[in-house]
């Protein structure tokens, strides 16, 4: 018997022109959504921040919306990529648009970090610059879908619009959850306490998380070693 034909796992299967350096770069840009999912999972597991969990929940809801829109509109991809699923709207463009706009909203309107003895947080201007970089990166990913012929310009523009609109709606929804006390209530539930879910990133930089405790432990250890030498 002949061996059964093998299937291609298309999660990271990207078509590009190997003779074109821009095409090669665009192929890497196509992997940004998968990379962001890894970042989400890593941050949620390591920091247990409810804000990151809410953002990831919105990201997945945005993906579900894209899945529904594609199967409702049923518009084919450009001729070069026919047979590889529907193209309207672009899921890559919608994914990165939601991520970048939500990140910008968080940095500019919700994140109010306080300085500590060991850390000076990013200023508003620095957070604004970071937001611009995030938006520019999202634009690069969206444009790469056109360059690789996976989507038409219209499909990418609609994907960007859907991602931006959903980001605005989701940010407003999570703002309501905070102001109405639902986030505070959720943090008091048994599951949240069992998984040690916290809400520190709104007022504390992630890079400063635990740093003060680490510095205090180092000072105590150093003082203990000095005292031990004196006792000898």
- At 159-217, the pLDDT tens digits run 999 999 999 999 999 999 999 999 999 999 999 899 999 888 888 777 776 676 777 78
Q: What token pair was written down for 7?
A: 């299937």
Longest dimension (CA), the chain: 82
Residue 218: predicted pLDDT: 82
CB atoms within 10 A of CB 231: 6
Mean pLDDT of all residues in 130-148: 93
Using an 8 Å Cβ cutoff, are 159 and 93 in contact? yes
What pLDDT, on the 0 to 100 scale, is given for residue 178? 93
Q: Residue with structure tokens 């990013």?
A: 122
3-class secondary structure per residue, the chain: CCCCCCCCCHHHCCCCCCCCHHHHHHHHHCCHHHHHHHHHHHHHHHHCEHHHHHHHHHHHHHHHHHHHHHHHHCCECCHHHCCCCECCCCHHHHHHHHHHHHHHHHHHHHCCCCCCCCCCCCCHHHHHHHHHHHHHHHHHHHHHHHHCCCCCHHHHHHHHHHHHHHHHHHHHHHHHHHHCCHHHHHHCCHHHHHCCCECCCCCCCHHHCCHHHHHHHHHHHHHHHHHHHHHC
Which has the minimum average pLDDT: 60-69, 74-83, 120-129? 74-83
The answer, yes or no, to whether residue 154 has pLDDT greater than 80, is: yes
Residue 83 in this model has a pLDDT that exceeds 60: no
Q: Which pLDDT band holds residue 2 (cuts at 50, 70, 90)?
A: low
Quick one: pLDDT band at residue 80, thresholds 50, 70, 90? confident
The lowest-confidence range among 47-61, 79-93, 134-148 is 79-93
Which range is least confidently modeled, 19-33, 36-50, 109-123?
Answer: 109-123
Select the highest-mean-pLDDT range: 18-27, 54-63, 72-81, 117-126.
54-63
pLDDT beyond 60 at 1? no
CA dist 64 to 10, 71, 95, 179, Å?
Answer: 19, 11, 11, 26
What is the rounded CA–CA span in Å between residue 177 and residue 84? 39
Query: Other CB atoms closer than 10 Å to residue 36's CB: what's the count?
Result: 16
Q: What is the pLDDT of residue 139?
A: 94
Q: What does the alpha-carbon distance between residue 41 and residue 215 come to, in Å, rounded to a whole number?
A: 28
- pLDDT value of residue 164: 96
Do the beta carbons of residue 78 and residue 151 sit within 8 Å? yes
Overall average pLDDT of the 35-43 stretch: 92
Instruction: Report the C-alpha gap between 55 and 171 in whole angstroms.
Output: 9
User: Nearest Cα to 110, choosing from 118, 100, 119, 102?
Assistant: 102
| 90 touches 138 (CB < 8 A) | no
- Would the pLDDT of 112 be above 90? no
Which CA distances in Å does 216 have to 31, 208, 209?
41, 13, 13
């Amino acid at each position: 018997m002949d061996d059964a034909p093998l299937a291609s796992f298309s999660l990271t299967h990207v078509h590009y022109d190997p003779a074109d350096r821009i095409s090669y770069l665009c192929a890497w840009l196509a992997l940004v959504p998968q990379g962001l999912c890894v970042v989400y999972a890593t941050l949620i597991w390591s920091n247990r921040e409810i804000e990151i969990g809410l953002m990831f929940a919105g990201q997945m809801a945005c993906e579900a919306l894209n899945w529904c829109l594609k199967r409702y509109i049923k518009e084919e991809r450009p001729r070069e990529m026919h047979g590889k699923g529907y193209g309207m709207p672009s899921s890559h463009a919608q994914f990165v648009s939601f991520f970048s706009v939500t990140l910008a909203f968080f940095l500019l309107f919700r994140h109010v970090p306080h300085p500590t003895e060991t850390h000076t947080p990013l200023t508003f201007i620095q957070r604004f610059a970071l937001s611009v970089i995030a938006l520019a990166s999202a634009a690069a990913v969206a444009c790469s879908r056109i360059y690789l012929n996976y989507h038409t310009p219209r499909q990418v523009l609609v994907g960007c619009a859907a991602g931006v609109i959903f980001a605005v709606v989701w940010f407003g929804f999570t703002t309501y959850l905070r102001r109405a006390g639902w986030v505070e209530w959720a943090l008091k539930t048994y599951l949240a306490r069992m998984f040690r879910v916290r809400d520190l990133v709104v007022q504390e930089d992630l890079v400063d998380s635990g740093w003060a405790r680490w510095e205090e432990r180092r000072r105590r250890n150093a003082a203990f070693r000095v005292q031990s030498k004196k006792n000898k």
